[in-house]
Amino acid sequence: MDDLSPATLLSEPYGHADGSVTPPIYQTSLFTFDNYAAFADRMAGRDDRALYTRVQNPTVAAFEGMMAKLEGGEAAVGFASGMAAISSTLFALVKPGDRIACVEHVYPDAFRLLERMLRPIGVEVTYHAPRAFAEDPDLLKGVTLAYLESPTSAVFDAMDLRRVAAHARRHGTLTVIDNSWATPIFQRPLDLGIDVTLHSASKYISGHSDTVAGVVVSTAEIIAKLRDLTLPLLGGKLAPFEAWLLIRGLRTLPARMREHQRSADVFVDRLADRADVTRVNAPGANTVPGLIGRSGLMSFEVADSVDIPRFADALKHFRLGVSWGGFESLVLPCAIALDQAGPKNSMQTFGVSPRLIRISIGLEDVEDLWNDIQQALDDAHT
Ligand SMILES: *Cc1c(COP(=O)(O)O)cnc(C)c1O
């Protein structure tokens, strides 16, 4: 990251025309050429100027450049969603006959991708507890790719990524991590030896709950593979306007994460003090090596005396909904996810308590937020 801290890096203007501090939005599908020779040079690969927005766009490239620097990677590629980033990564790096070792309690649609699209074409998939990846040096023997989250979704179980990466290197296993929860402000997986870090940029990277997007950061070689294969052929490209929104979001990422952490720390202390809260899942700084902060997404279990629908309905500031990472605070009672219709999700498969409640602590005043949770819990006793 040169020698700049993230906050300085992210405020840098990019030398835009007339001194504009924000980049222009190249809202165009194609780029034209002045003459035959210039067009022919581009098509023959003798230069790499933008040709068509499905594969190249300067606004998207500006976002990708910022993400590569933040994560400490050689290159990055943006996608239309976190799931486009995940599926484009897996389809580029894995083929029928290969084995994927995935962490339990993985993001529900990543689980469905493995079960409904990769397993049916002959990719073998196994699931393991986070601890097993670090503690069993032979877990990755014969495994092509380890698909990781640290911490995991729903139960927020973290793993020692440095150890996992060392085991993986010995077995020739590629490691991919979904780093949406920590963001590069709190965890830089590539520094710990992980090969690929990716995000649902819909969450903290955007920070404003106004866009759905994804991004993958890795070596130049791996990103070139995605650019050669799954970006053009599956076509899940990041749109220029969305990239512009993400650049806008990134400017405040360090400041937002600091605030999320401050409020989350208050919540962890106070939740632990309540007799009707039986468990808090919220890893923070130094829970595992390389994790240096606590984001605002956590879960806690409530005692049987708490009527969960009544708790949810008594909330005044926290809103009910999926997603997270925005300015607004959210609650997701896991009983609702356990009841979800359709193909099995990862919560149903790996099992979470129906007493579990996930909260995303936003940027509102922490005392207002805590008072809200407190009055709703107090209100919900049977
Ligand atoms: C939301 C989410 C995703 C999926 O991202 P989309 O942008 O919604 O496609 C992937 N991983 C995690 C951890 C998420 O929370």
The pLDDT value recorded for residue 14 is 61
CA dihedral 22, 178, 163, 351 (to 10 degrees): 150
Q: Does 82 sit in the ligand 1 pocket, CB within 6 Å?
A: yes
| For the CA of 85, the nearest atom of ligand 1 | 9
Question: Is 225:180 a contact under the CB 8 Å cutoff?
Answer: no
Task: Assess whether pLDDT exceeds 70 at residue 123.
Answer: yes
Cα angle 44, 50, 55; round to 5: 90
Pairing of strands 75-79, 297-302: unpaired
- Last residue in a domain, options 205, 236, 251: 251
When pLDDT is averaged across residues 296-321 and rounded to a whole number, the result is: 97
Give distance in angstroms: CA of 82 to centre of ligand 1.
5
Highest-confidence segment of 6-10, 52-56, 345-349 = 52-56
Give distance in angstroms: CA of 116 to centre of ligand 1.
17
Q: How confident is the model at residue 11 (pLDDT cuts 50, 70, 90)?
A: confident
Give distance in angstroms: CA of 107 to centre of ligand 1.
7
Write the residue with the smallest CA distance to atom 4 of ligand 1: 82
The pLDDT value recorded for residue 346 is 81
Task: Assess whether pLDDT exceeds 50 at residue 147.
Answer: yes
3-state DSSP helix/strand/coil % of the chain, to nearest 5: 40, 15, 40
Q: Does 200 sit in the ligand 1 pocket, CB within 6 Å?
A: yes
Q: What is the pLDDT of residues 176-223, one digit of tens each?
A: 999 999 999 999 999 999 999 999 999 999 999 999 999 999 999 999
Do 177 and 246 share a structural domain? yes
Do 212 and 143 share a structural domain? yes
Do 317 and 237 share a structural domain? no
Whole-number mean pLDDT of the chain? Answer: 95
Task: Assess whether pLDDT exceeds 90 at residue 342.
Answer: no
Q: How far apart are CA 294 and CA 182, in angstroms?
A: 7
348-351: long-range contacts, CB 8 A cutoff, minimum separation 24: 349/111, 350/104, 350/105, 350/127
Q: Does 329 sit in the ligand 1 pocket, CB within 6 Å?
A: no
The pLDDT value recorded for residue 20 is 86
Task: Assess whether pLDDT exceeds 90 at residue 142.
Answer: yes
**Closest Cα to residue 159, out of 170, 169, 146, 172?**
146
Question: DSSP letters of 298-358?
Answer: EEEEE-TTB-HHHHHHH-SSSEE-S---SSS-EEEEHHHHHT--SS--HHHHH---TTEEE
The pLDDT value recorded for residue 69 is 95
- Tokens 């990041």 found at: 238
Helical ranges in 196-314 per DSSP H: 220-228, 230-234, 240-251, 253-272, 308-314
Do 258 and 294 share a structural domain? yes
Do 226 and 277 share a structural domain? no
Task: Assess whether pLDDT exceeds 60 at residue 13.
Answer: no
Q: How confident is the model at residue 3 (pLDDT cuts 50, 70, 90)?
A: confident
- Last residue in a domain, options 251, 284, 306: 251
Write the residue with the smallest CA distance to atom 8 of ligand 1: 82
The CATH number for 361's domain is: 3.90.1150.10
Q: How far apart are CA 315 and CA 297, in angstroms?
A: 17
Q: What is the pLDDT of residues 29-62, one digit of tens each?
A: 999 999 999 999 999 999 999 999 999 999 999 9
- Last residue in a domain, options 208, 226, 251: 251
Mutate to test the pocket of ligand 1, among 202, 245, 345, 347 (most ligand atoms within 8 A of CB): 202
| For the CA of 323, the nearest atom of ligand 1 | 1
Do 153 and 284 share a structural domain? no
When pLDDT is averaged across residues 321-336 and rounded to a whole number, the result is: 95
Do 279 and 244 share a structural domain? no
Q: What is the pLDDT of residues 156-174, one digit of tens each?
A: 999 999 999 999 999 999 9
Q: Could you tell me the CA-to-CA distances from 226 to 41, 232, 237 in Å, in that order?
A: 23, 8, 11
Give distance in angstroms: CA of 200 to centre of ligand 1.
4
Q: What domain range is 182 assigned to? A: 2-251
Question: 124-133, 316-325, 348-357: lowest mean pLDDT where?
Answer: 348-357
Q: How confident is the model at residue 1 (pLDDT cuts 50, 70, 90)?
A: very low
- Tokens representing 259 are 């605030």
Q: How far apart are CA 95 and CA 372, in angstroms?
A: 49
Q: Does 212 sit in the ligand 1 pocket, CB within 6 Å?
A: yes
Helical ranges in 48-158 per DSSP H: 58-71, 82-93, 108-113, 130-135
Do 261 and 247 share a structural domain? no
One-letter amino acid of 267: F
Give distance in angstroms: CA of 128 to centre of ligand 1.
20
When pLDDT is averaged across residues 52-81 and rounded to a whole number, the result is: 97
Residue 151: asked if its preceding bond is cis (omega within 30°), the reply is: yes
DSSP E strands: which ranges in 52-187?
A: 75-79, 99-103, 124-128, 145-149, 174-178
Q: How confident is the model at residue 250 (pLDDT cuts 50, 70, 90)?
A: very high
Pairing of strands 99-103, 124-128: parallel
How many domains is the chain built from? 2
What is the DSSP-derived secondary structure letter of residue 381? B
The pLDDT value recorded for residue 337 is 84
Do 196 and 86 share a structural domain? yes
| For the CA of 181, the nearest atom of ligand 1 | 13
Q: Does 202 sit in the ligand 1 pocket, CB within 6 Å?
A: yes
Do 362 and 350 share a structural domain? yes
Do 174 and 46 share a structural domain? yes
